Amino acid sequence: MGRKEEIIAAAEKVFIKYGLEKITLDDIAFECGIKKTALYYYFKNKDEILSAMIKTKAMAISDHIRSKVMECDNVRDRLRTFMRSKISIMQENMRFMKLFEREGLPKRAMEFLNKVERSMTDSDFSLVKEVISQGIKNNRISYQMSDSLVLMILGVAYGSFIGKHYNKCNWNTDAMIETAIDVIFRGIE
């Protein structure tokens, strides 16, 4: 891991521990074990570190989910793995996600965060669409591609996570995923 990556990792620890508004470059430098002036070699300010941290985290999450999905042999397992991985990785990163729930984030930070969230959603959408398209191409799915099918799968993953972890619903996400897979492949009769 290079120095820039070390700074980003240290910044994440400090941001999670103290919150976005309270930390300073001194806090990040201390966590890295370097002088504050050394941070300026890699980043102009705290906002730039925050942006790099968010971008790095988003790319790592997307890459992790994609690799897990592509390890699977068939469409059903790939879709199931996507939903389970997405829910699991959001759960693992709750403390990180909660950083951005606070009111009063600077407008620039909110705009950047919204851009990254859109990018992650686009990445999820593309991955699920790719899995379904491969299933159609390989004659494993006899359905015409439609964005609504992709949105249904994303809705199960995002919705069950939000319900269970934010709204504290007593939902069995595995059962929800299996029901969604059954509906996708058998339909509703």
Select from 22, 105, 25 the least CA-distant residue to 11: 25
With a cut of 90, say whether residue 126 has pLDDT above it: yes
DSSP code string of 13-68:
HHHHHH-TTT--HHHHHHHHTS-HHHHHHH-SSHHHHHHHHHHHHHHHHHHHHHHH
Burial class (CB in 10 A: 0-12, 13-18, 19+), 7: buried
Distance of alpha carbon 100 from alpha carbon 149, whole angstroms: 30
Confidence bin at 133 (pLDDT 50/70/90): confident
With a cut of 70, say whether residue 188 has pLDDT above it: no
Token pair listed for 187: 């339909």
Q: Compute the average pLDDT of residues 145-170.
A: 84
What are the residue boundaries of the structural domains of the chain, listed by start? 1-43, 59-186
Average pLDDT score over the chain? 86
With a cut of 80, say whether residue 142 has pLDDT above it: no
Following CA atoms 108, 99, 157, 128 in sequence, which dihedral angle do they give, to the nearest 10 degrees? Answer: 40
Token pair listed for 63: 């890459």
* Amino acid present at 157: A
* Amino acid present at 115: K
- For domain 1-43, the CATH architecture is Orthogonal Bundle (1.10)
Fold category of 59-186 in CATH: Tetracycline Repressor; domain 2 (1.10.357)
pLDDT tens-place string over residues 30-55 = 999 999 999 999 999 988 898 898 88
